[in-house]
Amino acid sequence: MQTPASFFLLLLLSLAAVYTVLLKTGHLQENFQGKSIINSFGMFIVIWSSVTIWMTDGSSHIQSDHWKSWITLIIGFSMLGLIDDVWGDSRYKGLRGHIRALFLNGKVTTGLIKAMGGVVLSGWIAFQIVGTFTERIVGALLIALSSNMLNLLDLRPGRANSIFLLIAACVIVVHNIWPLQIVFLAALVAWPLDSRAVVMLGDCGSNMLGAVLGLSLVIVSSFAFQVVTVIILIILHFVLEQISLTKIIDRSPILKRLDRMTGVR
């Protein structure tokens, strides 16, 4: 039986292995400071979480029947994000930018592929988890919107990961969701590197973490709460399409102070 010490040691060894591979393969990108750092480090969270969930199989834990859906969601959303990390075009920003690229330029961007793929994957996952047609639609929207929202937050070191850790911790305190605990632990271990701008989680990390939060809420929250959350997320998406999140934060001393707590600025 694996002890907590050996479990944590394997976690750190996995982190070191992924860091080394990404560094050796030159998977780097300029961050907001103009520094070239490792990108797509969310792959560490993906690999560790998927393997650990598969090995434990959720045995003796609540929601164990859904472990295959968890792995599908984690790997699926990370791969959609990785496509954008590797082949994405920075000229197109936001969902509106990708739609304009399609209709005005006839260009199918990786961002659009990621968005459409996320909707399809969210729908498939929701149909495995919840019962009625209406619940499935709302669940799919919650997963897809949560995924993209965390991706929109991932503009500065540690910001998206910090939001994930905060919300996930609240859910874990109230509900025993074993897969969420596994992802939480990996994200927590990655946070120091992310917040200090040593690595970037990339879309493969932020998209996946957002989807994990969405799935968690689909599993544990009431239908009414999910509907309200979906409405709030739609409003936030609309607002952030109109104005930069960084500008919103910079205009508020309180938000600016809280934001600086999540990582270097």
The values of phi and psi at residue 70, to 5°, are -60, -50
Residue 104 has pLDDT above 90, yes or no: no
Residues in a beta bridge with 37 = 29
| CA-based nearest residue to 213, from 250, 167, 249 | 167
Longest Cα pair distance anywhere in the chain, in angstroms? 59
Instruction: Indicate the residue type of 150.
Output: L
Provide the terminal-to-terminal Cα distance of the chain, rounded to the nearest Å. 43
| Residues counted in the chain | 265
Q: What's the whole-number mean pLDDT along residues 27-53?
A: 94
Q: Which tokens go with 97? A: 């930018």
Residue 163 has pLDDT above 90, yes or no: yes
As a whole number of angstroms, the distance between CA 122 and CA 202 comes to 20
As a whole number of angstroms, the distance between CA 184 and CA 190 comes to 10
What is the tens place of the pLDDT at every residue in 200-251? Answer: 999 999 999 999 999 999 999 999 999 999 999 999 999 988 888 888 998 9
Q: What is the pLDDT of residue 56?
A: 78
Residue 244, CB half-sphere, CA atoms under 13 Å: how many?
7
* Band of residue 64 on the pLDDT scale cut at 50, 70, 90: low
Q: What's the whole-number mean pLDDT along residues 180-201?
A: 96
* Band of residue 182 on the pLDDT scale cut at 50, 70, 90: very high
* Band of residue 105 on the pLDDT scale cut at 50, 70, 90: confident
As a whole number of angstroms, the distance between CA 187 and CA 179 comes to 12
Q: What is the pLDDT of residue 143?
A: 98
Tell me how crowded residue 181 is: count the other CB atoms within 10 A of its CB: 15
Are 263 and 196 spatial neighbours (Cβ–Cβ below 8 Å)?
A: yes
pTM: predicted TM-score of the whole model, two decimal places: 0.91
Residue 96 has pLDDT above 70, yes or no: no
